Structure 1
Amino acid sequence: MIEFLLNGRIQKLDQADPNLSILEWLRTKMRLTGTKEGCASGDCGACTVITGTPDQNGNIHYEAINSCITLLASLHGKELLTVEAFHQEPGHPVQRSMMEQHGSQCGFCTPGIVMSLVALHANHASATPEDHKILQALSGNLCRCTGYRPIVDAGRQAMVQEWTPASSHPAAGLKGERSVAALSTISQGSVTLAAKPGGPRYDAPVSLCELHALRSRFPAARLVAGSTDLALEITQQLKTLDHLISVERVPELKDCYPDNGELVIGAAATYEAFRQPLSELWPAFDAMLERLGSLQIRNRGTLGGNIANASPIGDMPPPLIALGATLVLDGPDGERRLPMEAFFHGYKQTDIKPGEFIHSIRVPMPKPDQQLFIYKISKRLDDDISAVLGAFRLTLHEGIVSDCRLAFGGMAATPARARHAEAALHGARWDQAGVTAAAAALASDFTPLSDARASASYRLQVAGNLLQRALLASDPLNRDPLTVTDYA
């Protein structure tokens, strides 16, 4: 059985299809049709809802997510708010501002936009967020007919207004403790959900011991965390997944803490959860993570999922390879560690053995004279997949490259180091001549493919240009923001 709050009311489901998304359940079972399906892939934001998750301090953390690629069973112990929660007076400032600023035309995308801005309002109730925060909140919401200026204007207007609903309001949990009390009555133990005996099954353990037992008992089961990629097999490929084991409720896999000169990030930690501690150590991650999917995706997607997916254009592996990060794998024979670069054997092929799972990732902390550059090339600024991603960790001493690790995504069947380019740079001066030699050596490292995102020749040329970009960015006299910016 799973149990959760829906617009202020407890829902209990003892039988449901584990392949069912929140969106499909809302529209077909509950007839709450304000939440729309636009793409069924987490791209357009028309399906945006808000979830509230209890934290260790007894508070509830609210965030916008894509309901089209979030599985219903993941709601256990949480609160779910849909746009219907705001039918009851008083209306939310976001609703009024959208009307007054003419932020809607056809209206199909409007409920998702409202929910994204409501989530932003809930998390910035005591401050006025800058335009950057408003744009970030809307980065996963597409609108074909209105244009974004009136929507952003509505966000500016709404964020400075208070909202004080009565305790009986369906969304009162955004402003008070009612939801905390209601959710405290729900067991936070492990759950199992199935539509019928012998049918598709979903298990959500709450400890490593339980996870080990399930992996041993059901070796063919698929592991799932945020489901931002796995759910596409259901919504796009129309597959039925027979058995899913969720890792998102295992505390040890969600940790993020310093340990012996490394930052340890649990495999089930979401992008938004580890973004700040990682970016404080290596600032180059901050701009890159802001472009990894949308805020809705980052609220659900996990580091372990991005790595285990083994995509050659995944955004996290190249910078982790550049930093010399270590993967911690757990399984029947205990933990083992291996360098991140050794994890990928070929396209969608990894070093995971039967019964194993990614436990955590250990990222080295910066040493003196080390710099990290991360550059993502994509056709859209927000919510797009990389054509090429370059990550360069350099150690410079008096202008000489004493050590370097250069890693790329989108250049081969796996994320990989550019070892010939590294050799060209090692011991050379960090100047135009050194970078030119390293860029020329990339042709010996990679033979990229042409596809819908970029041609092979473009990929090879832009990879070299990113090294040039790092050189310009490292020059303290270069103040041109168009040159040193992290946006491509």
Structure 2
Amino acid sequence: MIDFMLNGQPRRCEASPETSVLELLRETLGVTGTKEGCASGDCGACTVAIGEPGPDGELRYHSANACITPAHQLNGRHLVTVDGLAQSDALHPAQAAMVECHGSQCGFCTPGIVMSLFTLHEQQRQAPAPLTPQRLEAVLGGNLCRCTGYRPIRDAALSMNVHPDNRPLWLDAAAPRGGEVSEQRLAPDATFLQPASLDELCDCLAQHPQARLVAGATDLWLETTQRLARFERVIDVTRVAELNLIEEATLDDGRDGWWIGAAVSYSRLEPLLEEYYDAFAHLLHRLGSQQVRNRGTLGGNIANASPIGDTPPVLLALGSRLRLVGPNDGHGVRERELALDDFFLDYKRTALREGEAIRAIFLPRPTEGQTLKVWKLSKRREDDISAVLGAFAWRLENGVMRDVRLAFGGMAAIPKRAAHAEAALEGQAPDAAAFLAAREALAEDFQPMSDVRGSAEYRRLSAANLLERLRLVIAQAETDSPREVMLHAYAH
């Protein structure tokens, strides 16, 4: 049973565990303003806003793709759709601006665009900030429109504040308390379980070790929309308090850093990365749309174990570790740690034991002199899957390279470090001879396959070219004009 607020009205619905928010809206509730476009989280036509209380208790809304958001994750939340924004003839500023700027033609994608603008309007009310081109691109980058050419939509975003602030009064209402449905979530016969603590999670894992785990669902729910899969039982980790923490820590080996809870979304992680790892933060803008970053998690990207996942190569290059959790002989909590290098075993196979889950990922603090570069090759500049991704970490000491870690995605059945190429560079000056040896060593590290995203030869050449790019970047940094020539994710 799902208890939530829909456009200010309480709703209580039953749904199978694989039901999406979009299905619940259109097929169960008959609320059809939200449209289905791609059914894979790419086009944004189904964008809705989900509100939940922040640490200060204030309701905050984020955009989400309804087609790949599990309906049961609405428990205790506010759901806002395009159907609920207007009050009689008084349009919400997002709607009024779209009308005034002629931002809609066929209208199919318009509901999703309006909802992205709605979340932007809410953010501006709570914390006004300049609407830079970069910010507008982030907000609207997940909404495709084949008719308008985007300029009128951008104009609408920039002009929302000149329209009367006609907001439904229920937007400021308090969200229903999650505790009202917690007992129901944990019922032994429930098919969609929502544990709220680590102990409850381990109880669920002990009782249902074969259940599918879900966080952001940005990949898992494609099984339902693209393959018509049905899930017997699902365990939702997004409500587990311990999995939503970002905690500073020091490992036994003396490294400082942060344990990132497996349910922390990319959007929550982004400020930390912007402060310490600009290259990693930059990658997030190419990982997916704002809707995807609002829902997707670091833990899910790792557990998915895709050879073309974007974040694992970066974490391998940084020397990350994992904290895994599971039931202790059916009672209590058992934890263990392992290096991320030891987690990926083979295609879609990991070191997770039956009934285990990822609790947190250790992100090391940058060491003195360390540099990180991350370059992603894909057919589209944004919101696309990688063909090849290279992540390179190193530091220069007395003119030679130290602590060299080179990791790639798309080059093997798993995200993998280039051990032979690393050895060719470790302790060497970053000159042409050393990098030639490193490029040649890639043949010992990888034998990539051909698929729709690129041939084996393309991948081999691209990986070698990324190493050559790394050499040029290091050389250029020693000049008077250390500006790197590249296509930024926000190329304005």
Shared fold (TM-score greater than 0.5)? yes
Aligned to 2:154: 152
Contact 1:327 1:360 in 2 (8 A): yes
For residues 148-185 of structure 1, the C-alpha deviation after alignment (integer angstroms, 9 at most, x for no partner) is 22211221222x4365336xx26x42xxxx322x5348
Instruction: Give 1:375 shift.
Output: 0.8
Query: 1:311, 1:348 within 8 Å by CA — same for their partners in 2?
Result: yes
Give yes or no for the alignment of 1:326 onto 2:340. no
> What amino acid sits opposite 1:228 in the alignment?
T
Counterpart of 1:187 (choices 161, 175, 180) is 180
Within-5 A mapping of 1:255-334 = 255-260=245-250, 261-333=256-328, 334=334
Q: Could you tell which deviates more after superposition, 224-233 or 42-51? A: 224-233
Structure 2: stretches of 5+ with no match in the other structure: 251-255, 329-333
Distance in 1, Cα, partners of 2:39 & 2:75: 22
Q: TM-score, normalised by structure 1?
A: 0.93
> What is aligned with 1:75?
74
Partner of 2:7: 7
The structure-2 alpha-carbon separation of the partners of 1:376 and 1:214, relative to structure 1 and needing over 3 Å to count, comes to same
Give 2:331's aligned residue. Answer: none
Matched, 1:127 2:129: yes
Tell me: CA distance 1:33–1:358, structure 2 relative to 1, closer, same or farther (3 Å): same
Structure 1 contact 27–33 (Cα < 8 Å) conserved: yes
Aligned residue runs from structure 1 range 413-428, under 5 A: 413-428=413-428
> 1:338 maps to which residue?
338
1:136 aligned partner: 138
Amino acid at match of 2:137: L
Separation in structure 1 between the aligned mates of residue 40 and residue 339 of structure 2, nearest angstrom = 32
Whether the aligned pair in 1 keeps the contact of 2:186 and 2:195 (CA below 8 Å) is: no
Q: CA deviation at 1:99?
A: 2.0
Distance in 2, Cα, partners of 1:384 & 1:121: 27
Q: Match of 1:482? A: 485
Q: Does 1:201 align with 2:191?
A: yes
- Which structure 2 residues correspond to residues 208-223 of structure 1 after superposition, within 5 A? 208-223=198-213
Give the structure 2 partner of residue 226 of structure 1: 216
Paired residue for 2:165?
A: 164
After TM superposition, give the deviation of residue 431 of structure 1 in Å: 2.8
- Alignment match, 1:29: 28
- Give the equivalent residue in structure 2 for 1:20: 19
* Partner residue, 2:253: none
Note the alpha carbon deviations across 1:385-430, whole angstroms, 9 max, x for none: 0001100110211321022000000000000000111011111112
2:79 maps to a residue whose letter is L
Instruction: Give the structure 1 partner of residue 236 of structure 2.
Output: 246
Residues in 2 aligned to 1:185 and 1:361: alpha-carbon distance in whole angstroms? 27
Deviations for 1:54-89, whole angstroms, at most 9, x for unmatched residues?
122111121000000111100011100000112324
Give the aligned CA root-mean-square deviation in angstroms. 2.0
Identity %: 49
Distance across 2 between alignment mates of 1:201 and 1:127: 43
- The whole-number CA distance in structure 1 between the counterparts of 2:164 and 2:301 is 37
Question: Residue 337 and residue 193 in structure 1: after superposition, are their counterparts in 2 closer, same or farther (change >3 A)?
Answer: closer
- Report deviation, 1:128: 3.2
What's the offset of the Cα at 1:481? 5.1
Report the counterpart of residue 101 of structure 1 in structure 2: 101
Q: Is the 8 A contact 2:45 2:111 kept in 1?
A: yes
Q: Give the 3 Å change call, closer, same or farther, for CA 347–487 of structure 1 in structure 2.
A: farther
Contact conserved, 2:75 with 2:178, CA < 8 A, in 1?
no
In the alignment, residue 259 of structure 1 is paired with which amino acid? A
d(CA) in 1 for partners of 2:470 and 2:364?
Answer: 21
Instruction: Rate the CA distance shift 1:397–1:152 in 2: closer, same or farther, 3 A.
Output: same
Distance 2:489 2:430 in 1: 20
Task: State the Cα deviation string for residues 411-466 of structure 1 (Å, max 9, x = none).
Answer: 00000000111011111112333223212221221111111111111111111222
Amino acid in structure 1 at the alignment position of 2:98: M
Equivalent position amino acid for 2:344 in 1: F
Contact preservation (8 Å) 1:35, 1:112: yes
Note closer, same or farther for the CA distance 1:349–1:63 as it changes in structure 2 (3 Å cut): same
- In structure 2, what residue type is equivalent to 1:454? G
Pair 1:128–1:367, CA change in 2 (3 A): closer
Structure 1, unpaired ranges of 5+: none
Q: Report if the CA contact (8 A) 2:93-2:165 is conserved.
A: no
One-letter amino acid of the counterpart of residue 323, structure 1 = L
Deviations 1:227-254 (A, max 9, x none): 1111111111111100001110001001
Q: Classify the secondary structure of the residue corresponding to 1:386.
A: coil
- 1:141 Cα deviation (Å)? 0.9
* Amino acid aligned to 2:162: Q
Query: Is this contact kept in 2: 1:190–1:206, CA < 8 A?
Result: no
The residue number in structure 2 matching 1:443 is 443
2:463 alignment partner in structure 1: 463
Provide the aligned length of Structure 1 versus Structure 2.
475
Closer, same or farther in 2 for the Cα pair 1:156/1:344, shift >3 Å? same
Given that residues 18 and 193 in structure 1 are in contact (C-alpha distance below 8 angstroms), is that contact kept between their aligned partners in structure 2?
Answer: no
Instruction: Give TM-score, length-normalised by structure 2.
Output: 0.92
Is the CA contact 1:374–1:486 (under 8 Å) kept in the aligned structure 2? no
Task: Note closer, same or farther for the CA distance 1:405–1:301 as it changes in structure 2 (3 Å cut).
Answer: same
